[in-house]
Amino acid sequence: MKSIIFPSVAAVLFFASCGNNALDEKKEKIRKSQEEAQERQADEELLKKAQGIFKALPGDASDELHVLSEEKVNLGYHLYYDTRLSLTGNNSCNSCHDLSKYGVDNLPTSPGDAGKNGDRNSPTVLNAALHTMQFWDGRAKDVEEQAGMPILNPVEMAIPSKDFLVKKLKGVKEYVSMFSAAFPNESDPLTYANIQNAIAAFERKLITPSRFDNFMNGDLTALNKQEKNGLKLFMETGCTTCHNGALLGGNMFQKFGIGIDYRSLTHSVKNDDGRMAVTKVETDKDIFKVPSLRNVEKTAPYFHDGSVASLEKSIEIMAKAELGKELKKEEVMDLVAFLSTLTGTVPAQYTKAPEGIILK
């Protein structure tokens, strides 16, 4: 009898064990399903909050006043890379706003046509057409106005007058044809205003959507867990007071250093009073345009004077200077992870100079 009983008991134990395993697996599946549902709900809530603060980038920066034709954009593309726009032929727009380097030159300040450096860091040209003002002090209202200023600046491109450049370009027969094609309804299309308009038309195409835009458009998987933690922290810490909208900045002025002199944090070598240099109003001292954070991980060094090389350090400085907060190391790294999702792709066809008539 014993030889019969023991196998039966073993069989019962075996099936009981299998039953327990199946039950455990079922419980584990339920637990995972519940966790996934909770995570999805949290992600959906995060997205909803983000959509109330930010926006996805548009395809380009055209509007009713700035209609982009293929001819106008192509002309601007050529002008952007052409060193004829500087007095001695040393510089083009791309020299300081290198499209193969995310629209910057990664220098604190940029050397001009004669080799002398400017006073402020060259901001990226990418997505700049969507800003509500141009330059660190906001002295230009749009990229059309901005495009003409560096050309005549004695330190930057040093062209002595508008007429000087117009005459110079009219001596290039290909440009005469290109301006006629770009501005077909004008009897004298090669003007300084149209040089500005063409360069600006090209810049209005330099829009760089990123993984963050995929998230903003509803793809909850576009960001990983750390990046989502960084986004949540970015919103909860107070960064969105200034860095909001489609560009996460670029739409307002703000004092750099609220309750503290920013120079004590950045160790800036040169003094810069910010917008006060334009307005001559004392209350505008240390006020600058809030920069966009699009592609920020690629556009070092940071701040108006390029005084800080590290993104991590710049985050720590901004927390202290603007929010009066000390961030933990893991918080800084979460913010860095989130900011990396703002890195887009520069239109590949524009990262090198066009072939043909331009001087490089």
Can you tell me the distance from the alpha carbon of 196 to that of 141, in angstroms, rounded to the nearest whole number? Answer: 13
Q: Which two tokens stand for residue 350?
A: 């524009």
Contact between 232 and 45 (Cβ < 8 Å): no
SS3 content of the chain, % helix, strand, coil (to 5): 50, 5, 45
Taking alpha carbons only, the member of 195, 3, 183 closest to residue 84 is 195
Instruction: Check if 156 is active-site.
Output: yes
Catalytic-labelled residue, pool 25, 39, 44, 156 = 156
Which tokens go with 137? 């002090």
| Number of residues assigned to the chain | 360
- What string of DSSP letters covers 274-312? BTHHHH--GGGTTEEEPPP-TTGGGS-SBTTTT-B--HH
Q: What is the DSSP letter of 111?
A: B
The rounded radius of gyration (Å) of the Cα atoms in the chain is: 28
Which residue pairs, CB below 8 angstroms and at least 24 apart, start in 171-179?
172/84, 172/357, 174/356, 174/357, 175/78, 175/357, 178/71, 178/74, 178/75, 178/78, 179/75
What's the half-sphere exposure (Cβ side, CA atoms, 13 Å) at 330?
2
Containing 180, the helix (H) or strand (E) segment is helix 173-182
Cβ pair 144, 203 in contact under 8 A? no
Burial class (CB in 10 A: 0-12, 13-18, 19+), 31: exposed
The span from the CA of 169 to the CA of 162, in Å, is 11
Residue-by-residue DSSP string for 154-165: TTTT----HHHH
**Residue from 263, 211, 203 nearest 68 by CA:** 203
Catalogue the active-site residues.
156
